[in-house]
Structure 1
Amino acid sequence: MIESRPKKGRIIFHIDMNSFFASVEQAHDPSLKGKPVAVAGNPKERKGIVVTCSYEARAHGVYTTMPVWEARRKCPELIVIPPDHNRYRDASDAMFSLLRTYTELVEPVSIDEGYLDVSDVEWPGTAVELAEEMQRRILTELDLPCSIGIAPNKFLAKTASDMKKPMGITILRKRDVPAVLWPLPVIEMHGIGKSTEEKLRSLKIETIGDLAAAEEGFLKEHLGKRGIHLKRRANGTDSRAVDPESVHERKSVGGSVTLPVDETDPAELKKTLRRLAEKVAGRLDRRELAGDLVTIQIRDADWVNHSRSRTLTNAIFTADAIYREAELLFDRHYGGQPVRLLGVTIGRVIDRSETTEQLSIFNYEKHAKEEPVLKMIGELEEKFGKGTVTRGISGPKSGGRQG
């Protein structure tokens, strides 16, 4: 049993691999170590977006989502490598297999991060020494760096692992929350995105401490049950267990509609898909969820159901992304038969705070389409100063509803 284990409560680790894709490439080709490396799409054509980059590249101002042309301008010696997803999946499997040699209570969150409950691990030393052992083995056996957060619950462990990178080990106890987290702006809290930050600021809640001190009734009135959930997190409370089966048991959010007539016009059917995508996105947004399994259901005039699914590399939650994937499935599988019912479902959903978009070989092309605009913005900012040009946002159409 781990020394100095608390009589009550758990010891939770959050493992976060550092610059995972770039680190895997450096492990595969040791000549890349110590050099600025970026994983990106279409490197030979100077197109695409930086998927991830090494810390040597970051020192030159290169960052994830930066267009390749801009990254090379900031770092002329940058080595750009096309993604190899199979290599990354193999490295991920090896990392999680290593962690399971300590405990079966391992919950993968994404390809490069996960939680461990080590409370009952037979280990002669302290929790920090156990984390050092795991970190050392991952580095020596897999040649990959990682950071580890140690805390009594998942939220604090995740927060701790972000505090020191690369190769950091950080302890965050619940008693540390007032001094460490409360002075920070709410956007710094794990699980709060831009839209939630704006809502909280409109309620005069600027810091994590403000959120921790807010009245539950007030938060529930303006944010629903999620407001209470966020207040608990701000106070360092999180009762979620580390669940190894959660990756297989994620629930789904969906919607369907029975059509007034047996429809055969693909254009009309796609309009219905669009409305369903917006409905599902709204439901996901209200619950702050995202999912990486898209399913469409087509029920024909004979009431025979046809379902087609697609598993994505990254979880999605926006109406545009859901519609794009649903339309792709529809185009591939619709055979022209009269349709009585259509449905769209996002499966394997998780709390949106547990996932951030990981650029990959499957989605860098989407970002690459923005390259001409990004290049123009970069040139204007270089000439007239940073912030000269800002992006607009799409507002609701006349008579439309804001999501």
Structure 2
Amino acid sequence: MRKPTQIERLYLDFDGFFASVAQQVRPELRGRPVGIVPFSGGKASCVIACSKEAKALGLSNVMPVGEAMAACPELVLVPQEPHLYRRAHNALLAEIESVVPIDAIKSIDELTCKVDPDQRHYPEDLGQAIKRTIAENIGQHITCSIGFAANRQLAKIACKQDKPDGVTIWYPDDMPGPLLTVPLSDIPGVGANMAKRLVRSRIHSTQDLYETEPKQMRKIWRNVTGERLWYALHGYDIQAPESKRGMFGHGRVLPPECRSLDGARGICRVLLTKAARRLRREGFYCSGLWLWLDHGAGNWGGKRILPTVHDDQALLSEFQVLWEQASSQLPRRPTIYRIGVTLFDLSPANSRQLDFLLADDSERQRWEAINTAIDLLNYKWGKTVASVGFWPRENLENIGGKISYTRIPSAEDFW
């Protein structure tokens, strides 16, 4: 296992990304505390992201609107615009790539780069070159924090130390000094539950964690992730194996006017159709469908095991079965707050196993041909002009185009 003696990685994190993008395109928001909310028209109950100015006043992401407004009456609430964030993300990647090759996109607002050998001796210059390129070609109101270190994990930790708009450089010769002053909660993988496990193991600080044996960390994490983290903290070039796709799905918090059974059903059908489109675009079939509902008084969930399929007709037919089950088991006139659909038990399209007992191959081929025609038609027009079954024309605000920590939507997700 190799232990670098020079800076080899940088980690970049955009500051208050959603709010910063809004400030860049809307001059009236610049310099003001901004909170991004899920819905327009005062329907939102949660601030999902804050601007740098709002964070400086004590606000944080995922904060109730009432609490945020009480703490900061001048807060400006702005509805989310995922399509705008996607476009800004792509533009920013192009500018950064003109300065340094991007190694991996970690989320909509985070990425990591390998530092070329001729740039390793001047990380400050490289960081400033990235910031200057963004300011000149995108705008001055989207800023980023950058961390440099021997490996990606250390660079990520360093990146968080001088936010917003900072550059933190951890040379291998200076380690572990800077790392030991970092709060334990800033270490990747140390969430609330893991912190409790660490306390039970008498680990109360980053220095305690650093001085723990690798096998002990493996035992605490209950898998090899803990041991990998030990080697990363000690400066080794350690990379986790690439994860494989396990499922496709969409979830959504419903706007108030859609929290009835009929309103939720319409949106859920759209979410399922969009998940099926992603399944086909990425070359997979599935053999399982899971539906879940949060109705305030509790949660309902159900699943169906399917033949190996990826067409809308097969999935929507099974969805209808699940929806009828949910309708019969939920309280009378429930208020449904959140819904979600997941397609699981995936198999690559080039290795589909036919179901001999169902003898469904000819029927599936016809529906798959219909779906191919529908997908091509929608792709030609850049919007949903054809679908299997009804397609609602209202309450589709950003549906299927949600920005998550693990996925950046494509243009097709907004059709």
Common fold: TM-score over 0.5? yes
Q: CA RMSD in A?
A: 3.9
User: Following superposition of structure 1 onto structure 2, how do residues 3-402 of structure 1 map, counting pairs within 5 Å?
Assistant: 9-45=6-42, 47-120=44-117, 126-143=122-139, 144-222=142-220, 223-240=222-239, 250-253=243-246, 296-298=286-288, 304-307=307-310, 331=319, 344-345=344-345, 362=402
| 2: CA distance, partners of 1:346 / 1:214 | 39
Q: State the TM-score, normalizing by the size of structure 2.
A: 0.58
| 1: CA distance, partners of 2:4 / 2:233 | 24
Report if aligned partners of 1:298, 1:306 keep a CA contact under 8 Å in 2: no
Query: Percent identical across equivalent pairs?
Result: 27
Q: Which one is further off, 15-24 or 219-228?
A: 219-228
Report if aligned partners of 1:106, 1:115 keep a CA contact under 8 Å in 2: yes
Report if aligned partners of 1:161, 1:169 keep a CA contact under 8 Å in 2: yes
Distance 1:90 1:151, change over 3 A: same
Tell me which amino acid in the other structure corresponds to 1:137. Answer: T
Q: Which one is further off, 105-114 or 17-26?
A: 105-114
Tell me which amino acid in the other structure corresponds to 2:105. Answer: P
- 2:63 aligns to what SS in structure 1? coil
Tell me which amino acid in the other structure corresponds to 1:344. Answer: F
**Deviation of residue 297 (structure 1)?**
1.2
Tell me which amino acid in the other structure corresponds to 2:134. Answer: I
Corresponding residue for residue 267 of structure 2:
none
**Deviation of residue 361 (structure 1)?**
7.4
Report if aligned partners of 2:285, 2:309 keep a CA contact under 8 Å in 1: no
Tell me which amino acid in the other structure corresponds to 1:82. Answer: P
Report if aligned partners of 1:159, 1:190 keep a CA contact under 8 Å in 2: yes
Total equivalences in the alignment: 279
**Deviation of residue 10 (structure 1)?**
5.0
Distance 1:185 1:159, change over 3 A: closer
| 1: CA distance, partners of 2:9 / 2:75 | 37
Distance 1:147 1:346, change over 3 A: farther
**Deviation of residue 184 (structure 1)?**
4.2
Deviation by residue 1:204-245 (Cα, 9 ceiling, x = unmatched): 12222222222334334443423322322332334239xxxx
| 1: CA distance, partners of 2:15 / 2:306 | 51
Give the unaligned 5+ runs of structure 1: 1-5, 255-292, 310-326, 337-341, 348-359, 365-403
Corresponding residue for residue 257 of structure 2:
none
| 2: CA distance, partners of 1:192 / 1:308 | 40
**Deviation of residue 86 (structure 1)?**
0.7
- 1:181 aligns to what SS in structure 2? helix
Give the unaligned 5+ runs of structure 2: 248-282, 290-304, 325-341, 348-399, 405-415
Report if aligned partners of 1:147, 1:161 keep a CA contact under 8 Å in 2: yes
| 1: CA distance, partners of 2:223 / 2:194 | 12
Deviation by residue 1:292-346 (Cα, 9 ceiling, x = unmatched): x9985149xx99422479xxxxxxxxxxxxxxxxx9995269799xxxxx98358
